[in-house]
Amino acid sequence: MEPEMEDKTLELMTTSGMESQNLVDDLSPKKNTVLKLSNGPVVGSRKRPSEGNYEKEKEHCIALFDQWSEADQVEFVEHLISRMCHYQHGHINSYLKPMLQRDFITALPAQGLDHIAENILSFLDARSLCSAELVCKEWQRVISEGMLWKKLIERMVRTDPLWKGLSERHQWEKYLFKNRTSEVPPNSYYHSLYPKIIQDIETIEANWRCGRHNLQRIQCRSENSKGVYCLQYDDDKIISGLRDNSIKIWDKQSLECLKILTGHTGSVLCLQYDERVIVTGSSDSTVRVWEVTTGEVLNTLIHHNEAVLHLRFANGLMVTCSKDRSIAVWDMASPTDISLRRVLVGHRAAVNVVDFDDKYIVSASGDRTIKVWSTSTCEFVRTLNGHKRGIACLQYRDRLVVSGSSDNTIRLWDIECGACLRVLEGHEELVRCIRFDNKRIVSGAYDGKIKVWDLQAALDPRAPASTLCLRTLVEHSGRVFRLQFDEFQIISSSHDDTILIWDFLNVSTNGQSEGRSPSRTYTYISR
C-alpha cells in the first residue's frame, strides 16, 4: 500500500473510532442525568454550556410561536423533532408521556357521565375490581355507587351453571337482578358475598375430587321388581322407570313416592320428561306419552317390533331406537299429534342408545359401531369404529361423543372427523351408562361402580392415563343401570332396586372418613 493511501486509511479509522466513542458516550447514562416524569420540564437532562444569547432567543421564539395557529405550531414542532437525534427523542417522549395520561374514571363523573365510568369498570374480573377500588377514593365511589360487585356476581350467575345453582340453593338469588330499591343491600354486601361464593365453589370441587358426599337412598323394590332401569330428575322430583312395568314419581326432598303410572305391559327401559309430558319406552315395544301433572296417558305409539331401548326428544323432534335394529324419527307437533318421519336402518344388532342435536343423530349398537346421520335429511353420514364389543351407552354434545361398551372401556370421539381422541380404562364390566358436562365424565357399569373422570385432562393427549379417573364411588350392590348428574350431585339407579343421591354440596365432615357418608334411606313398598 502506498504511503498516501495508508495515511488516509489511518485518518478514516481514527475518525470512525472517535464517532463510535461519541455515540457510546451519548447512549451511556450520565451521573448528572435526572429525568422528571411529570407534566413539568425535564430537569437536568444534560449539562449545556451557558450561552449568553440563549435566553433572549428562547423568549423571542416563544413569542413568535404563540402568535401562530395551532396547525402552524404542530408543523413547526414536527420540523424541530425531525431535526433531533434519538437521544433527544427519548427526552421528549419522557416529557410527553405523563401529559398524555388521563384518569378518565375520575374525569367522566365530573362531566356528568358516571354511567360510562361504571360501564367501563363493570367488565373487570374480581381481582382487577379489588385493585381498582384501591386506586383512589373517586374510583372506589364509582364502584360502590355503581354496585359493580353485584353486577359481577350477576354476570357469573348468568354464564356459569355452578354459580346459578349456588344462588338458588343458598337463596342469595333474591338479591340479584333487581333495580336499586330499599330491598337491595349495599355494594359492601356483594363485596363480602363474593369470597364466600368462591369458598363454596372450592369446597364443592374438593368434594368431587376426594369423593366426599352425603348419601340418600330410595328403596323402591316391590314384590316382582328387580331393577330401576332409567331415571331423570329436577329440583323437585325424580321420575324412574322400573322392571315391574311402572313409572314412579318421587319427591326429591322427602324421598316419598308421589305417584305411580301404570299402563306398560313390559319393563320401562327408558324415559324423558319436560314441563308438559313424560315419554317412556318399554320392552312391550311401545312408546307412551303421559301428562306430567295428572299421569294421564295422552298417546301410545306402536311401531317397533321389539323392545324400545332408548329415546330422546327436543324441539318438536323425537328419536327412538329398538332391539329390532331400527331407529325411528318422529315429528312431535303436540303430545297427541306425533307422526313418523323416517326409519333409519343400517345397524346389524340391537340399537341400544340414540342422541341428537340440530346437526346430527348419533346411534350406537351391539354391532360395535356408532353411526352418524344428518338430523335434517336423515341421510347417513359416517360410522365410528373402535370398540371391540357392543356399545351400551353414549352421549353426544358440541362435536364430542362419549361412548361406553361391553369391552369395559369408554371412548371419546370427534364426530366431525370420526377420530377416537382417548380410551378410558378402569371399569371391570360392561359400561352401562355415561354422562358428561364441560368438566367431568361420570360413568356407571355392571361392576356396581360409578367413576368420575376429568374430561379436560382426557382431551389432553399429554395427560397420563393414571390421572384421568378422579374418584370411584362404590355404594350400589348391583349393576348400575342409569345415572344423571349436575354440579352438585349424582343420582343413579341400579339392579339392586335402589336410587342413590350422591350430594357433594351438603357434606357433613364430623367424624366421617373420606369418600363415605351416613346414608338416609326411604323404603317404598308397592301394593
Question: Environment class of residue 475 by beta-carbon count within 10 Å: exposed (0-12), middle (13-18) or buried (19+)?
Answer: buried
The reported pLDDT for the residue numbered 15 is 42
The reported pLDDT for the residue numbered 43 is 43
For 269, phi then psi, to 5°, come to -95, -25
Closest Cα to residue 383, out of 357, 420, 436? 420
In a domain, 51, yes or no: no
The tally of domains found in the chain comes to 1
Task: Sort strands 431-436 and 440-445 into parallel, antiparallel or unpaired.
Answer: antiparallel
- b/e per residue 494-518 (b: at least 16 CB within 10 A): bbbbbbbbbbbbebeeeeeeeeebe
Taking 3-state DSSP, the helix, strand and coil percentages for the chain, each rounded to the nearest 5, stand at 30, 35, 35
State pTM to two decimals.
Answer: 0.78
Residues with Cβ within 8 Å of 361's Cβ and at least 6 positions away in sequence, in order, are 319, 327, 329, 344, 354, 355, 372, 373, 374, 375, 378
Question: Environment class of residue 384 by beta-carbon count within 10 Å: exposed (0-12), middle (13-18) or buried (19+)?
Answer: buried
In a domain, 439, yes or no: yes
The alpha carbon of residue 315 and the mean position of all alpha carbons in its chain are separated, in whole angstroms, by 23
The reported pLDDT for the residue numbered 509 is 65
The reported pLDDT for the residue numbered 182 is 67
| 367/349 Cα distance (integer angstroms) | 5
| 314/374 Cα distance (integer angstroms) | 16
DSSP SS3 for 173: helix
The reported pLDDT for the residue numbered 525 is 41
Q: Is 211 left (phi over 0), alpha (psi -120 to 50) or beta?
A: left
Orientation angle between helical segments 126-133 and 137-145, nearest 10 degrees: 130
CATH of the domain at 317: 2.130.10.10
In a domain, 523, yes or no: no
Over residues 83-129, the pLDDT tens digits come to 999 999 999 999 888 888 778 888 888 888 888 988 889 999 999 99
The reported pLDDT for the residue numbered 175 is 86
In a domain, 30, yes or no: no
In a domain, 289, yes or no: yes
DSSP SS3 for 167: helix
In a domain, 158, yes or no: no
- Three cell numbers written together for 466: 393414571
The reported pLDDT for the residue numbered 52 is 67
Q: Which residues of the chain have pLDDT under 50?
A: 1-45, 511-519, 521, 523-527
In a domain, 328, yes or no: yes
In a domain, 173, yes or no: no
The reported pLDDT for the residue numbered 14 is 40
The reported pLDDT for the residue numbered 502 is 97
Structural domain that includes position 407: 210-503
